[in-house]
């Protein structure tokens, strides 16, 4: 049984929330991904999935759609989790970078590195008070 759930996240739509306490370094979820070759990304951009895919492959030219809750984690420049790409096994692994309390939203930095403050592709206006970026 998963120890996470999807709920409404004020100002952000849906988000992933802890259903129990997690400890730093604990694996939250391991998600299989569907890999799409670079030549299909233009078609993906015409769909709702465009906002949910990950750059994939050693050169980041392919795309991947995470199954499970993998594409529903919200972004933060102060995340409590991070993700690791496993290209060989087509998996994304979500891991705590600090303790996470029950009912707390689990967030990741969409730039992969939790310390990376590079601007993301969507508008953050009015969301800074929500600790997301």
- Which CATH number is associated with domain 4-112? 2.170.270.10
Q: Is the pLDDT of residue 33 over 80?
A: yes
| Mode of pairing for the β-strands spanning 105-108 and 13-18 | antiparallel
Q: Which of 31-35, 42-46, 59-63, 125-129 has the lowest mean pLDDT?
A: 125-129
- Band of pLDDT at residue 132, cut at 50, 70 and 90: very low
- Least Cα distance to 99 among 117, 87, 81, 125 occurs for 81
pLDDT number for residue 112: 65
Q: Shortest CA distance to 110 belongs to which of 85, 90, 89?
A: 85
Q: What is the pLDDT of residues 92-125, one digit of tens each?
A: 999 999 999 999 999 999 876 666 666 665 554 4
Q: In whole angstroms, give the CA distance from residue 32 to residue 46.
A: 23
């Amino acid at each position: 049984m998963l120890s996470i759930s999807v709920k409404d996240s004020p100002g952000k739509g849906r988000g992933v929330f802890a259903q129990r306490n997690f400890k730093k370094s604990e694996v939250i979820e391991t998600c299989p991904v569907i890999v799409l070759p670079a030549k299909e990304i233009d078609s993906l951009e015409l769909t709702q999935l465009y906002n949910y895919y990950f750059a994939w492959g050693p050169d980041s030219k392919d795309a991947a759609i995470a199954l499970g809750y993998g594409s529903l984690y919200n972004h933060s420049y102060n995340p409590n989790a991070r993700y690791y790409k496993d290209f060989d096994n087509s998996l994304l692994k979500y891991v705590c970078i600090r303790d996470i309390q029950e009912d707390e939203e689990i967030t990741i930095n969409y730039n992969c590195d939790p310390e990376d403050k590079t601007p993301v592709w969507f508008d953050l206006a009015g969301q800074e008070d929500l600790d997301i970026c």
